[in-house]
Amino acid sequence: MAQEQLQKLPSEVVVQISDVSTWAMKTHIQTQVSYEKACDALKTLQVMRRTIAKHYKKIKDPLNALRKTYLDLEKDDLASVEPAEQRLKSLIVSYEDKKRAEEAVESKRYLDAVDAGDTALPVPVSKIEAPKGHSRRDISRAVVTNLRLLVDAVARNELPIDVLQANIPALNRLLAKQGDLFSAPGVSVETTSVVVGR
C-alpha cells in the first residue's frame, strides 16, 4: 500500500488531540473546577483513543484478514510436511543412538582387552559418518515430576528459590474470589487505580 493511499486521521481530530494533550501536560489539579476540567479532558482523550482505534480498524481489518489467510495456508502446508519430518527425525535419532550404544560397548570391550593384555584385540565398530550438512544437537530440559519435593528442596536451601515461580494468575483468582479476606504467606496485595471518563 503506497504511503499516499494511507488514510490519516481527520485534521480536526489531530488538532483536538494536540490541544487537549498540551493542556494536560501543563495543568495542575488544585480545586474542584480544575478537577472537573481534568476529568472532562480525560474523557475527551479517551473518546479520541476510541476514534483512533475505530479509524485504523477499518484499515487494518482487510489486512488482518489477508494475513490470516496466508498464515492459515502456511500452517496447512507446514502440517503436510510434519508427519514425515517427525518420522525421519525419530528414525535417525534411533539409529544414531543404537550406533552410539554399540560404540560404547565395543570401546569398553577393547579397553578391557587392553587391560587384560590380550593380543587379539576386538575390531571396533565403525563410527557414524553423518552426511554433510547433517547435525544433531541434544537439548535437555527439566520436567517437574513432584512439585512438593521441589518445594521441600528449596525450603532446605538445596536449590535456589528462583527455580520456583509464583503463579500470579492463580493468586489473582484467589484474590478476586476472597476479596478483603485474601491472605497468603509471602504475598501482598497491590492496588492500581484505573480512571475512565465516560
Q: Write the pLDDT tens digit of every residue in 122-181.
A: 676 677 888 888 888 888 889 999 999 999 999 999 999 999 999 999 999 999 999 999
Is the residue at 166 inside a domain?
Answer: yes
For residue 158, the 8-state DSSP code is: S
Residue 68 placed within a domain? no
What is the pTM for the complete model shown? 0.52
Give the total number of structural domains in the chain.
Answer: 1
Cβ proximity of 96 and 119 under 8 Å: no
Q: Is residue 27 assigned to a domain?
A: no
Specify if 147 maps to a domain: yes
SS3 state of residue 184: strand
- Is residue 82 a part of any domain in this protein? no
What is the domain range of residue 152? Answer: 142-179
pLDDT digits (tens, 9 = 90+) for 111-137: 888 888 877 776 766 778 888 888 888
Structural domain contains residue 167: yes
Residue indicated by cell numbers 493468586: 171
| Sequence-ordered list of residues with C-beta below 8 angstroms from that of 13, at least 6 positions apart, any chain | 48, 51, 52, 55
Specify the DSSP element, H or E, that contains 149.
helix 147-155
